[in-house]
Amino acid sequence: MSADDSVFTGVVAKFYETYLVPLIFEPYALPAVRLLTAPDISEVLEIAAGTGVVTRVLARELATGTAIVATDLNQAMLDQAAAIGTARPVQWRQADAQQLPFPDACFDAVVCQFGAMFFPDRTGAYAEARRVLRPGGRFVFSTWDRIQVNEFADTVIAAMASIFPDDPPRFLARTPHGYHEISTITADVLRAGFGEPRIDTVTERSRAESAHIPALAYCHGTPLRDEIEARGDLDMATAAAERALTARFGTDAVDGMIRAHLVSVRR
């Protein structure tokens, strides 16, 4: 993983929330939160919260007395999340998942949607989640399956390879879809001190009004944007992604498969 893969600037955060969140993140938010719902949960920590798609579901679905702390490495993402708001108060806090600024055993649950792929030390981050969990507490996180079964992302990365054949941008394949082997995920969780995790592979659909939406989402709303701009014109690359998506999914509303792993384990 490149050091820049985990950097989401303000302009990227806005495109991320506007286009990428409804496209691929919203379908998995409620299933993750449902793994946490229990009457004895009083304090929940979210790590790598991004622009707050899961945070908003936590605030809506958990008991009103449950305290929610939402963290992310990138302040720009948290600023976007806070500007959108939640159904009830949430504590927003900038934090590195590998060095959580919280005491031992202070949360009943820790949740992380599609952040694990960005951690340079995943076992260390999982061990930190375990450290801040109370005995019996649940850790839930998700990762994308391989890029070939996430059809919009696969199409966009192929389009980038066609216009930059000598040095294709590889962010999508390298990082979001680069941590998909169940055996590897399981081994990392075990090394962090947890027991055997439950891993469910869940297929959903990604839908948009036109191919223009996923082209904008991936080319403007992820660090792929920086890779493109280092090689050429962003608008030209976005148009190439749109043409490829149109060729594969049609000229009207588009519908593609997405697939992810939902991981759940108790301390």
Residue 50 sits at φ, ψ, to 5 deg, of 60, -135
pLDDT in tens, the chain (267 residues): 544 555 566 577 888 899 999 999 999 999 999 998 776 789 999 999 999 999 999 999 998 899 999 999 999 999 999 999 999 999 999 999 999 999 999 999 999 999 999 999 999 999 999 999 999 999 999 999 999 999 999 999 999 999 999 999 999 999 999 999 999 999 999 999 999 999 999 999 999 999 999 999 999 999 999 999 999 999 999 999 999 999 999 999 999 999 999 999 999
Which of 164, 161, 157, 158 shows the shortest CA–CA distance to 231?
164
Q: For position 52, what pLDDT does the model report? A: 96
Q: For position 7, what pLDDT does the model report? A: 56
Delineate the domains of the chain, giving CATH numbers in brackets.
3-148+173-207+257-266 (3.40.50.150)
Angle at 21 between CA 251 and CA 101, to 5 degrees: 160
Residue 175 sits at φ, ψ, to 5 deg, of -115, -65
Is 224 exposed, middle or buried, given 0-12, 13-18 or 19+ CB atoms closer than 10 A? buried
Q: For position 8, what pLDDT does the model report? A: 61
Q: For position 241, what pLDDT does the model report? A: 98
**pTM of the predicted structure, to 2 decimals:** 0.93
Q: For position 47, what pLDDT does the model report? A: 98
**Is 144 in a helix, a strand, or coil?**
strand
